[in-house]
A and B are shown apart, each in its own frame.
Chain A
């Protein structure tokens, strides 16, 4: 997907003016947040779990080379084929290559953020192969020709009415013409349409939540069952996974999965957790004849080598997104690339570069709510600040801000001058504002007063009042 993060500002304006979107976002702000809170209140020591999860991921990252090779050994021992992809285009090339080798016409896909990241659908289409998203949410955004707006609930920005309309338009060709109203009917219709796609597809592509070094196993955690049909029915199964998905052992998966579903959807556990180890065995009646895993770097090793390396602990649960007030008011599309919210504001510049990511690191109030819910304790506000430091060093971002801050800094190092000047300003402002007690327009604070009043100060600065007070009271 072509990033358009640079247009964050104009995306924001559009998003805030979209009443349908605002209605949909309420779901995230309320439903997902409340469900998580409830699920976590039932765990006796969630903080301890978070700490353990953090340790597991941190340990793995510190020995990543070892665990990756260990994974490769064990996966290939079970007949799997591992592909190392340095970047998105290499990953595309590998996947399209496998498809061509099997003369594939159609590919059924489970949800994969890594797949989104490498724009696999575009690559398949360009190669004349039809990618079919089977996760309901992904399917809906595919029909709408939009990217997902959330990493867990891809079509959270769509209302039921919009979905009904989409289905009416696109499902006619399957012989459906009765207009639908209920969610149940919508889901059922997709189920029916998809069934033959699953049965007839040449290749299934899924993501992975974990890759287990110890056994060479790829793990997916899902609710709909589509991922399992993708990985079971077609004769070739391809897994797209970022290389940070690796964990040492099955027990580590057990620990992390305690946090994943609770953080993501507020479930104690999802309906399905599936462990796939290699292609089908000799006497099996189903399962793919070939299993490929495409291990994607795409900026991750650079991230590992940077001050932002903690971001690689991310298990893509989406909790930070659900708890982000900025995401809650502008939605995922405003962020302009694959990953939205706090994790996106860090990952996007880390993967596609600060230049392309535009102002994302600044699209945050640093309120810190994300950090408190992250199951692997990623200090997201700190990482966003570090990106701002990088921006500042590379002279990116607004020059006016830069100049303003530096001027302020200079002034602050001369307290006497500072106090003198500020006091003059405050006296003037107090004089002007005395009558009403506040301003509804201030030339110097236009961004403020466009939607808020600005209070009048109290006559003079504290420091000048204090000088006087001390003279009067303490002699």
Chain B
């Protein structure tokens, strides 16, 4: 850390301490650390009836279909692209829950090229009932750009992975003890803006459509 940065830090912290009348914090370390720990709920609340979750996604202008086998994912994508006359190559992310999807019949690639990415399929690790959010983790085989660059975005979610609240997500992620991935995206619907005359317009800088495929008992 350079000198100026150190000095600014010193000045700022000192001003804070004189405002809050607190000393160097060492003595409060334990108290505050336990506040952080205590906040982690231990019991993770999964949701079995997905009606609320799905309706939240639909409210946010995502489309949702529920399939009962993982091979149906491909059928579903295929159906959607032909219905919407999407002809581009589909960039597909990798996910450990769905290691060997056979994309026969659909023009796909696993090569990530930000400059040419108009349709993608990525995999959510969880869903959040409270907000209809899909939880996306960045990884070498699932770069963040795949969630934001395409015009059309498919997200696949295991039906057993929908939890009640955002807090449940943190509880689940903290189980591994690993640091968080570089990026976590909570995604509820396609991108939108209301900046012009407060008229909601779907499709701003991110995807113009989001189709969520929920897989039951895969």
Given the known inter-chain contacts A85-B8, A224-B206, please indicate yes or no for A274 contacting B185, CB distance below 8 A. yes
CB 8 Å contact bits of B151-195 with A (1 = contact, 0 = none): 000000000000001110010000000011111111111111111
Interface residue B20 (Cβ < 8 Å from any Cβ of A): yes
Which residues of A, 252-266, contact B by the 8 Å Cβ criterion?
A: 252-254, 257, 265
Q: Which of A184, A224, A295 makes the CB contact (< 8 A) with B205?
A: A224
Among the 9-residue stretches A56-64, A171-179, A423-431, A434-442, the one with 4 or more Cβ atoms under 8 Å from chain B is A56-64
Q: Which of B35, B60, B138, B196 makes the CB contact (< 8 A) with A271?
A: B60
- Given the complex, which residues of B lie within 8 Å of A454, measured CB to CB? none
Among the 9-residue stretches A301-309, A336-344, A372-380, A389-397, the one with 4 or more Cβ atoms under 8 Å from chain B is A301-309
Interface residue A398 (Cβ < 8 Å from any Cβ of B): no
Q: Which of A59, A154, A225, A284 makes the CB contact (< 8 A) with B206?
A: A225
Given the known inter-chain contacts A86-B8, A199-B115, please indicate yes or no for A284 contacting B182, CB distance below 8 A. yes
Verify B131–A305 contact, CB threshold 8 A: no
Verify A224–B36 contact, CB threshold 8 A: no
Q: Which of B5, B186, B187, B199 makes the CB contact (< 8 A) with A84?
A: B5
Interface residue A311 (Cβ < 8 Å from any Cβ of B): no
Size range of the interface on B?
35 or more
Verify B204–A136 contact, CB threshold 8 A: yes
Interface residue B127 (Cβ < 8 Å from any Cβ of A): no
Verify A285–B170 contact, CB threshold 8 A: no
Give the distance to chain A from B111, nearest Cβ to Cβ, in Å. 10
Q: Which residue, of A154, A302, A305, A309, has the highest number of chain B Cβ atoms within 10 A?
A: A305
Among the 9-residue stretches A7-15, A118-126, A202-210, A227-235, the one with 4 or more Cβ atoms under 8 Å from chain B is A227-235
Q: A297-B15, A302-B15 are in contact. List 5 more A-B contacts (CB 8 A).
A: A62-B22, A68-B13, A248-B39, A275-B183, A287-B183
In the assembled complex, 11 residue pairs joining A and B whose CB atoms fall closer than 8 Å, in A order, are A84-B9, A140-B196, A225-B206, A228-B147, A228-B185, A249-B39, A273-B185, A274-B185, A275-B184, A277-B180, A286-B114
Interface residues in chain B, defined as those with a beta carbon under 8 Å from any beta carbon in chain A: 4-5, 8-9, 11-13, 15-20, 22, 25, 28-29, 32, 35-36, 39-41, 56, 59-60, 112, 114-115, 130-133, 138-140, 143-145, 147-149, 165-167, 170, 179-199, 201, 203-207
